[in-house]
Structures are given as structure tokens and as C-alpha cells.
């Protein structure tokens, strides 16, 4: 089974596989006949396909509602046959549709376009949002599609990493006798390539490029997984930008507050990209991650602050909540819960209203400006007598009488005494 049937060696670790042999060795199974060749390739195969289609039905039911992407990629099987995979992807749930054997076919743009059109018809054009292929020139040439766009994933960085890995072999190639055979096609280009491969300065530049792009590459690698990372993106971008700056400034021998023309160019590119990708949802997810309120995380960098103290994050998060919770009461409850979670409040135009609803009425500082030290909770329910003084102004006769009364013990009322009487009245 393993050597001729193509089973993976990992299958031998399956406990059910091992138990089946143990059972067969100790029990007789009278009347059992294993499925034959014809049954395996006809009726049993059809039943298995029906079973798989039943498992896929809950996923396919959402295709029309949410729209899907057709993903196509070329590869070769163990027999070296050129295959074209067709898959459908929706919200991280890929479904394999079919593999097309391209043996004997001239795979030009017309052939590729035909393959993809057939896939669109099979799935249903009304369900298709986009078609994604690799960067092969024949794929780009199949312009009967919606749009042709590059889908590189840090391909330049990957290539430079590969150069570093095979540096010694590249240099050996450039100084070999066989290198002269390449000079017949383009002597100038061959000499330039040789000069670069043997140049220490060129390799130093590659080292520098890989060093300051490493934080960017690492972040892209983390984001390009099926694992949930939305709650990490905002901080990853901030940390990545700081790391890139540190590498560039160290390379140029600059202090943190000095000017770097190259860093300014890189910074503008990174910020422009982040501005296009950052959404209020990123800020909300960042704000709800307990990690970013921990002492350990804050102490890693003196510039770090908790999310609720970051004006930009709080404003963007407020935008999301304002759009998501149309009911004002629900919105107030959500903001109250976030305040309890973060220990802070929203620095938004509605912050004063939120603070009144959350603190002025419900917390230990409730009604702080009513009645002063002599106020107690029963005054709210038992009468408004204590509130009368709270509404007085300097223009009212009652207040004037109180001030004069406080000063009547002296023939001459000093300014400090008048102020003292006024403060007493206000209290």
C-alpha cells in the first residue's frame, strides 16, 4: 500500500490503521469480501463523491450570497504531467474544484483563458468576484479576464535572500571558464553581471537591503497566514516602522533626532501604505487586546501608551462603534463597558456626554457640583431646599444679603472678607 499505492508514511501513525491490523490478526470475519476493482471505480466512487458533495454543501450555500474568488495555479504531479489547479476560496475556506492535465496542449493565452472561462461557467458567473492567478506571462496575457494585476509577495526580497544563500556558487560561476560562453549573446551585460557578483560593495548593499526590509518581510509573513491577526496589525505596523528606522539610522550613523533623506522616502512609502490599509476596525481590535494594557508591554518602549490614551486609536474606534451601534442606548452601554475594561474614556466630541452618563450619575463622584460637602443622596429625593443656593448668582438679592451679613461684624469690609463670604455662600 505504501510503496505502490502512494500512501503517505504518516498514515502508519494512524491509530485506526494499527487497530484494524490488530483486529484482523485476532478475529475471523466470515463472509467479508473486500471491495473489488469495478466497485471501487464505479458505484463506491459515486457514493463517496455524493458524500463529499454533502459535506461541501454548507460552504457552497454561501457562494452566491458573499461571492468567491477563483484561484488558479500551475504545478507538476509525480509523473511530471503539467497540471492546472482550479480552486474556489471564500473566507479562508478553499474548495478544490478540479485539476486539468495540460499534457500535449500548447498553453498560450487562448488556452488559459478558455480554461478559466470554463471554470467560471461551471461555478456560475454570478458568484465570481475575482480571478487570481500567478505571475506567469501567459496568465497576464489572458486579458479576457476582469483585470490583470501583479500578485507578488516580496519577490524581490525573496530573490535577494536566494542570492545570499548561493553567493559562493554565483561567484564561482562568474570566474569559471564556462562564463565566457554567455558573453556571445551580450558581452556588455555579461561583464556587468560578473562585476556585480564579484563586488564586495554590491554584496554589502544586498545585506543592507535585507536588513532594513526584514521587519517589513516578517510582518507580511505573519499577516499572510490563516491565523487571526487583526488584533495585532496596528501594533505590528508601529513596531515595524520603528525597527526599519533604527536599522537605517544605525547604518547612516545618525542620532534619533537627526535628518535622513533616505528614511524620509521609506517612511512616506510605509505611511502611505498603512493609511490605505488601516481601518477603524484595526483600531477597535487593537484597543480590545489586553496585551497592550500590560506593564510588561508598556515598559518595552518608553514611547508606548495604552490604546485608550492614544487619540488617533480612540477616535477611529469611536467611528466604528458609532457606525455599528445605531441605537444610542446600546452605544452608551458599549462605551461604558470599554471604559470599565480600559480604565479610561473616549477622547471624542461625545466624551463629555459619555462622562456625564457614566460618572456624573452612576459613580462615586455623582452630582459633584450640587450642594457641596453638606449634600447627601437623600437630598435628591427628599427635597430641593439645598439646591436653592446652587442656583444663585452675584446679581441676586439673596446672595448680596448673605455677603453683607457676613461682613456686618466690621464697619469696614475688606476685600478678603467679601471673598470669604462669597466662597462660603458658594459652598
**Domain holding 139: CATH number?**
3.30.420
pLDDT exceeds cutoff 80 at 195: yes
| Cell numbers standing for residue 271 | 505611511
| Cell numbers standing for residue 274 | 498603512
- CA dist., res. 42 & res. 174, Å (int): 58
Q: Is residue 405 part of a domain?
A: yes
In total, how many domains does the chain have? 4
Single out the residue of 282, 212, 203 nearest to residue 244, CA to CA: 212
Q: Is residue 201 part of a domain?
A: no
State whether 123 and 74 are in the same domain.
Answer: yes
- Residues ≥6 apart with Cβ < 8 Å to 370: 386, 387, 390
- CA dist., res. 30 & res. 10, Å (int): 31
Q: Is residue 2 part of a domain?
A: no
| 407 vs 335, residue with greater confidence | 335
pLDDT exceeds cutoff 80 at 70: yes
Do residues 278 and 241 touch, judged by C-beta distance below 8 A? no
Q: What pLDDT does residue 109 have?
A: 79
Looking at 152, 173, 194, the residue that finishes a domain is 152
Q: What pLDDT does residue 427 have?
A: 37
Q: Is residue 402 part of a domain?
A: yes
Domain that holds residue 422: 372-426
Q: What pLDDT does residue 388 have?
A: 41
Q: What pLDDT does residue 326 have?
A: 85
State whether 346 and 410 are in the same domain.
Answer: no
Q: Is residue 106 part of a domain?
A: yes
- CA dist., res. 63 & res. 236, Å (int): 32
State whether 417 and 362 are in the same domain.
Answer: no
Residue 143 pLDDT grade (very low, low, confident, very high; cuts 50, 70, 90): low
* CA distances for 231 relative to 60, 132, 315, angstroms: 29, 27, 17
pLDDT exceeds cutoff 70 at 91: yes
State whether 144 and 96 are in the same domain.
Answer: yes
Diameter of the chain measured on Cα atoms: 125
Q: Is residue 259 part of a domain?
A: no
- CA dist., res. 252 & res. 240, Å (int): 19
Per-residue pLDDT reduced to its tens digit, 255-299: 988 999 999 999 999 999 888 878 888 888 888 888 888 888 888
- CA dist., res. 150 & res. 135, Å (int): 6
Per-residue pLDDT reduced to its tens digit, 355-395: 445 644 455 445 444 444 444 444 444 444 433 444 444 44
Amino acid at each position: 500500500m505504501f510503496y505502490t499505492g502512494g500512501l503517505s508514511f504518516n498514515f502508519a501513525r494512524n491509530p485506526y490503521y494499527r487497530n484494524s491490523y490488530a483486529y484482523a490478526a485476532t478475529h475471523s470475519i466470515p463472509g467479508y469480501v473486500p471491495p473489488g476493482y469495478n466497485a471501487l471505480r464505479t458505484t463506491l466512487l459515486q457514493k463517496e463523491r455524493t458524500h463529499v458533495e454533502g459535506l461541501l454543501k454548507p460552504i457552497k450555500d454561501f457562494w452566491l450570497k458573499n461571492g468567491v474568488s477563483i484561484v488558479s495555479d500551475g504545478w507538476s504531479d509525480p509523473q511530471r504531467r503539467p497540471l492546472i489547479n482550479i480552486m474556489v476560496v471564500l473566507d479562508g475556506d478553499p474548495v478544490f474544484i478540479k485539476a486539468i492535465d495540460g499534457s500535449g496542449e500548447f498553453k498560450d493565452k487562448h488556452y488559459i483563458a478558455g480554461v478559466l472561462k470554463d471554470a467560471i461557467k461551471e461555478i456560475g458567473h454570478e458568484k465570481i468576484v475575482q480571478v487570481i492567478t500567478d505571475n506567469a506571462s501567459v496568465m497576464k496575457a489572458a486579458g479576457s479576464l476582469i483585470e490583470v494585476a501583479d500578485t507578488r509577495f516580496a519577490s524581490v526580497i525573496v530573490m535577494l535572500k536566494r542570492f545570499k544563500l548561493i553567493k559562493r556558487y554565483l561567484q564561482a560561476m562568474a570566474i569559471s571558464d564556462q562564463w565566457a560562453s554567455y558573453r556571445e549573446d551580450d558581452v556588455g551585460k555579461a561583464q556587468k553581471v560578473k562585476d556585480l557578483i564579484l563586488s564586495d560593495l554590491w554584496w554589502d548593499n544586498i545585506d543592507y537591503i535585507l536588513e532594513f526590509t526584514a521587519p517589513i518581510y516578517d510582518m507580511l509573513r505573519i499577516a499572510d497566514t490563516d491565523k487571526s491577526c487583526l488584533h495585532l496589525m496596528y501594533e505590528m505596523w508601529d513596531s515595524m516602522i520603528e525597527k526599519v528606522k533604527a536599522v537605517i539610522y544605525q547604518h547612516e550613523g545618525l542620532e534619533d533626532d537627526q535628518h535622513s533623506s533616505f528614511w524620509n522616502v521609506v517612511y512616506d512609502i510605509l505611511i502611505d501604505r498603512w493609511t490605505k490599509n488601516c481601518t477603524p476596525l484595526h483600531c477597535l481590535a487593537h484597543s480590545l487586546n489586553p496585551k497592550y494594557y500590560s506593564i510588561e508591554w508598556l515598559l518595552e518602549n518608553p514611547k508606548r501608551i495604552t490604546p485608550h490614551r492614544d487619540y488617533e486609536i480612540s477616535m477611529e474606534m469611536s467611528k466604528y462603534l458609532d457606525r455599528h451601534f445605531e441605537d444610542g442606548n446600546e452605544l452608551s452601554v458599549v462605551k461604558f463597558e470599554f471604559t470599565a475594561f480600559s480604565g479610561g474614556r473616549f477622547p471624542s466630541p461625545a466624551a463629555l456626554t459619555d462622562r456625564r452618563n457614566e460618572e456624573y450619575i452612576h459613580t462615586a463622584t455623582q452630582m459633584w457640583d450640587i450642594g457641596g460637602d453638606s449634600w447627601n443622596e437623600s437630598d435628591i429625593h427628599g427635597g430641593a431646599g439645598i439646591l436653592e443656593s446652587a442656583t444663585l448668582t452675584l446679581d441676586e438679592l439673596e446672595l448680596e444679603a448673605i455677603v453683607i451679613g457676613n461682613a456686618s461684624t466690621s464697619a469696614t469690609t475688606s476685600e478678603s472678607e467679601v471673598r470669604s463670604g462669597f466662597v462660603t455662600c458658594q459652598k
